[in-house]
Amino acid sequence: MVRSFLKRLLSKPFRMGAAPAPEAEAPLAPPSVVLPAPDADGYIAVAPEGDVVVGRARQSAVGPNTVAVFRTEEGLFAVDNACLHEDGPLGEGRVAGNIVTCPYHDWRYDVRDGSCLSRKGRKLATYEVRERDGFVWVGPRKTGGTDARGGEHDDGLAQRR
Ligand code: FES
């Protein structure tokens, strides 16, 4: 958490003259109830249904991965939590409609299919997700993602040069 905060703080030190970026939401608290064991299909309960709300993400460990789960007006979606730039925690990003903006340097993603809007051709892995018995469950990987990392920042510096 401290590392995440420091990286976010150090990533945007020179925004003078640019409109201030809205702050990302603080991560949500852990689920308030004991989650059920994984089901027979390999789905893992990540939160009570009521804890996954429009406009906020929920980060959860799913096997070896950390997944960010989003509820939008179009449904539930789950993608890898690691940004394709420098592994920023997308589950702590700003959410607007189906788009999440990374809290580190503002790369944007469509949570419906994992596509990176800041670097065309790159994609986050996506996961099956469903609601059942009052919980949100994340299942197997649905689509693969891009392994490549890195690239220029989208932090407003380019516009001032
Ligand atoms: S780590 Fe996500 S935009 Fe840099």
Q: What is the pLDDT of residue 21?
A: 45
**CATH code of the domain in which 128 resides:** 2.102.10.10
Q: What is the pLDDT of residue 151?
A: 84
- Per the domain annotation, does 60 fall within a domain? yes
Closest atom of ligand 1 to CA, residue 88? 1
H/E stretch holding 6: helix 2-11
Q: Is the CB of 151 under 6 A from ligand 1?
A: no
Q: Give the tens place of pLDDT for each residue, 76-135.
A: 999 999 999 999 999 999 999 999 999 999 999 999 999 999 999 999 999 999 999 999
How many structural domains compose the chain?
1
Q: pLDDT tier at 8 (50, 70, 90 boundaries)?
A: low
Start-to-end CA span in the chain (Å)? 33
- Per the domain annotation, does 57 fall within a domain? yes
Q: Give the tens place of pLDDT for each residue, 55-80.
A: 999 999 998 899 999 999 999 999 99
Q: pLDDT tier at 147 (50, 70, 90 boundaries)?
A: confident
- Per the domain annotation, does 154 fall within a domain? no
- Per the domain annotation, does 21 fall within a domain? no
- Per the domain annotation, does 54 fall within a domain? yes
- Specify the pTM: 0.79
- Per the domain annotation, does 72 fall within a domain? yes
Angle CA 61–82–21, to nearest 5: 120
- Per the domain annotation, does 150 fall within a domain? no
Distance 135 CA to ligand 1 centre (A): 30
Structural domain that includes position 53: 2-13+27-145
- Per the domain annotation, does 126 fall within a domain? yes
